[in-house]
Amino acid sequence: MKKKRNVKSVMMRVTVIVLVALLLFWFDFPLFWMFLSSFKAPQEIYTLPPVFLFEPTLANYSEMIFRRGVLRFFSNSLLTAGISTLIALALGSLAGYALARGRFPGKKDIAFWMITTRMAPIAVVLLPFFLIFLSLHILYTLPALIIAYISFNLPFATWLLWGFFETVPSEIEEAGLCDGCSKFEVFRRIALPLVTPGLATTGILCFMFAWNDYMFASVFTSQQTATLPVIASSYMAGHRAVPWGQVTATGSFLFIPVLIGGILIRRYLVTGLTMGAIK
């Protein structure tokens, strides 16, 4: 009986490993192929059957960096996504903590109203934002794009961090108050460090929204302030033949920072996703 159970357990583990491997292959192969194609010469990209062994070239990256100035658009994306994420985390942590510890009427109604603003389709707010930015004379600038990202990321960050702060035992904070800390010091020195995994999870999700955004960036930026998704899409239009080498190189610029960021904070990310933040 024990042998049968051990064999069954081994078979189950092997089945799970095979299924996970197939899922990883299914989802990751397009990214791998994109990165691989970015090092191919044009004739090798169109070769059938596909070529896996080839002499790599940096011609596509050289074209993007030195002739098309992709680093400028990379910095635009990094600046708008980074600043909007930091502001959303700073304000969202304060608002989330207030919702978790505050006692005031209509708290849940306010929280629900906040998250409904995040549920609104982007197309609905494009015209109001356009008119507001036009009246403020900041249309087609990076500050306009940062404000647009904050408007969507802040409710999301507040909602997530509200749940993370509620996992912190209130007794720890009460002990801090008894030791002479003010409420803000309790928030900064006790509560905030304890939800570091939640901050990392919320930050990476907010950053990914801003980093991958196309709709806001395509409406509120100009040729000088465009971001990487806008530039990548521009290569797909206005060409008789799509320059896939340049497209895949730009896609690698989009993908690699998110991959590196995920690897660096993977420990916090996994912990944060398992803390039950969604209410």
Please measure the distance between the N-terminal and C-terminal CA atoms of the chain and give it in whole angstroms. 44
pTM given for the model:
0.83
Between 83 and 59, where is the model more confident? Answer: 83
Contact 38, 224 (CB under 8 A): no
Residues 155 and 32 in one domain: no
What are the phi and psi torsion angles at 26 (to 5°)? -60, -45
* 35-78 pLDDT per residue, tens: 888 888 878 887 778 777 888 888 888 888 888 888 899 999 99
Residue 51 in domain: no
* 120-165 pLDDT per residue, tens: 888 889 999 999 999 999 999 999 999 999 999 999 999 889 888 8
Residues 265 and 179 in one domain: yes
Domain count, the chain: 2
Kindly give, in sequence order, each residue whose CB lies less than 8 Å from that of residue 221, ignoring residues fewer than 6 positions away.
Answer: 76, 140, 141, 142, 145, 227, 230
**What angle in degrees, to the nearest 10, is found between the helix axes of 70-101 and 107-119?**
160
3 pLDDT higher than 50: yes
Residues 218 and 85 in one domain: yes
Residues 28 and 63 in one domain: no
123/143 Cα distance (integer angstroms):
19
Residues 68 and 138 in one domain: yes
CATH of the domain at 138: 1.10.3720.10
Residues 8 and 63 in one domain: no
277 pLDDT higher than 50: no
Range of the domain at 120: 59-273
Residue 113 in domain: yes
Percent of the chain at pLDDT exceeding 70: 91
Residues 33 and 70 in one domain: no
Residue 267 in domain: yes
Residue 278: pLDDT band by 50, 70, 90 thresholds? very low
Residue 7: pLDDT band by 50, 70, 90 thresholds? low
Between 182 and 80, where is the model more confident? Answer: 80
Residues 121 and 75 in one domain: yes
Residues 202 and 91 in one domain: yes
Plot region of 70 (φ>0 → left; ψ -120 to 50 → alpha; else → beta): alpha
Q: Angle 38-44-47 (CA atoms, 0-180°, nearest 5)?
A: 125
**196: three-class secondary structure by DSSP:** helix
